[in-house]
Amino acid sequence: MRIYIIKSKDNAEQYFNVQWSRHIVSLRKFNIVACSVFLENKPDANDCYRIVAIVKGKSEEQLSTSNDEFMQSNEFKQDMQDFPMQTIKNVETINLTRKEL
């Protein structure tokens, strides 16, 4: 799970609608599957919104390595084109284990 904290509603909506639409396609090239992406409905006290992305890979190690490769890739740079990177205030990665219901 990745949690992005983004300053302002407009920036959060752009990242959610534009950049994540691009990421969904690009990540597949790095063996990462985006399962779900969510945008928080209301801001925190600092006018920041959270975007939560659930992604998966073959293993925790593969996911970490593939994510590092993606972040250094031309695909990532193209995905982030026209987005003000300084509005991303924090990114947190949480590794989860899923239980099938």
- CA proximity to 27, closest of 53, 45, 51: 53
What are 3-49's pLDDT values in tens digits? 999 999 999 999 999 999 999 999 999 999 999 999 999 999 999 99
The pTM of the full predicted model, rounded to 2 decimals, is 0.90
Helix, strand, coil percentages, rounded to 5, for the chain? 40, 30, 30
Judge whether 55 and 14 are in contact, CB under 8 Å.
no
Report the pLDDT value the prediction gives residue 83, as an integer from 0 to 100: 97
Count helices and strands (H / E) in the chain: 4, 4
